[in-house]
Amino acid sequence: MDKHLEDELEEITIHPGDIIIDHITGYVGIILNRTRRIDIVEDDIYFWEIKWTSNFTNKRERGGAKEFLNISGFLEEATLKLSILIGAVELHSTNDENNEK
């Protein structure tokens, strides 16, 4: 991977309690916790558990009908950081005001 890209990804810090907005799906998620998993090829891989809320974009399109989600899921840390870097996911950090991308 390009050193400049690695440096930019390293600058993104994610914490439990942070809020993310997925601009592709319209869902809003709350970061719950970080989990370490071991992979034969990559060694340590980290995943973030996310509690997703309603899709606010589709809610407006449906005429305000209330439809709530109860979805928890995991995103791999490198993928989440790359999504934040390119703007597909917006991070609102509870720990660092300068970290918003």
pLDDT attached to residue 61: 56
- Give me the mean pLDDT over the 58-86 stretch: 77
Q: What pLDDT does residue 86 have?
A: 96
Strand order in the sheet with 43-55: 71-76, 43-55, 27-39, 19-22, 89-92
Residue 39 is predicted with a pLDDT of 82
The whole model's pTM is what? 0.78
Length of the chain (residues): 101
Rounded to an integer, what distance in angstroms lies between the CA atom of residue 22 and that of residue 7?
23
Distance CA 63, CA 79 (A): 33
pLDDT tens-place string over residues 17-28: 999 999 998 899
